[in-house]
Amino acid sequence: MLRLSPTVPSNILCVDDDSYLTDLFHYALTRDGHNVHVTHTGAEALRVAQLDRPDVVVLNLHLPDMNGLTLCTRLRKTLHIPVIMLIALSTDAEVLMAFEAGADDCIAKPFNMQILSYRIRAVLRRGTRSSVLGGPLKVVYKLGSGTFHAEENETTGRLGSVKVTATQGRILRLLLENEGRVVSAEQILTKLWAFGTESDVTVVKSHMSNLRKKLAMCLGDEEIIHTIAGVGYTLRKTGEVLAKQAIS
């Protein structure tokens, strides 16, 4: 099996009530260079996440004490970290529910551990931005009548400020950096997830719908994201970079 070792060890929290599976998680991900913490209940996962602030959470949809969707939502309220949801059936309904709850990616059981390692590396890579000086890059964009703070994944407008998920923030930034051009769902999948099939287009549609709702919460009824039927998405001319600096 190909070994996928991260450049820098990351802290991974795996939440599943299947001891065999969590043992497998621990063995495979530790071998890949990650620091792995395993929990078997949602309550324990919340406690560990608050104390250890993991870089990625791998979360089963079904847990003995709470629904994985509920746990994902609760994690999102206090922590801004990528969540990969494990689902038993790869149905559109379960995938949509997972993304509605704030998941960044989904994997259907059974799955190859090498695929999980790849997906973890992908969400970590998407969340890492470095400046020429080596520090994270802070970028603020003009977004209609408001602003989008890329580093904080926060949009601000006349109605207030709203946090978007890490994935929604990456989609918004991709549209901002391609303003005036139409970006297809397949291109978004390839850029952000490094995979793209016809069935996965549903993932983009779900994220886009949630992103529009959040933008409306702070910007009001401004139409920022436009859908070009059968082609893709475009952002009306609004993406001027207001500030760009390295954070020391």
Say if residue 200 is in the same domain as residue 122: no
> Cα(76)–Cα(79) distance, rounded to whole angstroms?
5
Q: How far lies 111's CA from each of 25, 35, 81, 106, 187, in Å?
A: 12, 21, 23, 11, 25
* Position 50 in a domain: yes
pLDDT value of residue 193: 65
Q: How far lies 168's CA from each of 37, 52, 99, 194, in Å?
A: 27, 24, 10, 16
Say if residue 110 is in the same domain as residue 148: no
Say if residue 196 is in the same domain as residue 173: yes
Q: Are 220 and 157 in contact (CB under 8 A)?
A: yes
* Position 2 in a domain: no
Q: What is the pLDDT along the chain (248 residues), one digit of tens a residue?
A: 344 444 456 889 999 999 898 999 999 898 888 889 999 999 999 988 888 888 899 999 889 999 899 999 888 877 778 899 998 766 777 788 888 888 888 888 888 888 888 888 888 776 543 333 333 446 788 888 899 988 788 899 999 999 888 888 888 988 888 887 899 888 888 777 655 444 567 788 888 888 999 999 999 888 888 888 888 998 876 545 554 443 33
Of 100, 126, 152, the one marking the end of a domain is 126
* Global model pTM greater than 0.75: no
Residue where the block lists tokens 């299947």:
18
* Position 214 in a domain: yes
Say if residue 18 is in the same domain as residue 81: yes
Say if residue 107 is in the same domain as residue 146: no
Say if residue 154 is in the same domain as residue 242: yes
Say if residue 65 is in the same domain as residue 172: no
Say if residue 199 is in the same domain as residue 176: yes
Domain count along the chain: 2
Say if residue 97 is in the same domain as residue 178: no
Say if residue 164 is in the same domain as residue 215: yes
Cis peptide before 110, with omega less than 30 degrees from 0? Answer: yes
> Cα(62)–Cα(68) distance, rounded to whole angstroms?
5
pLDDT value of residue 1: 38
pLDDT value of residue 248: 33
* Position 181 in a domain: yes
Q: Which domain holds residue 54?
A: 11-126
pLDDT value of residue 138: 65
Q: Name every residue whose Cβ is closer than 8 Å to that of residue 39 and which is 6 or more positions away in sequence.
A: 13, 14, 15, 45, 48
pLDDT value of residue 131: 30
pLDDT value of residue 38: 93
* Position 5 in a domain: no
Q: How many CA atoms lie within 13 A of 137 on its CB side?
A: 15
pLDDT value of residue 237: 62
* CA-closest candidate to residue 68, choices 34, 106, 30: 106
* Position 86 in a domain: yes
* Position 104 in a domain: yes
* Position 48 in a domain: yes
Say if residue 113 is in the same domain as residue 169: no
- State the helix-helix crossing angle for 19-31 and 113-126, rounded to 10 degrees: 60
pLDDT value of residue 242: 52
Of 126, 154, 171, the one marking the end of a domain is 126
Say if residue 97 is in the same domain as residue 141: no
Of 126, 147, 174, the one marking the end of a domain is 126
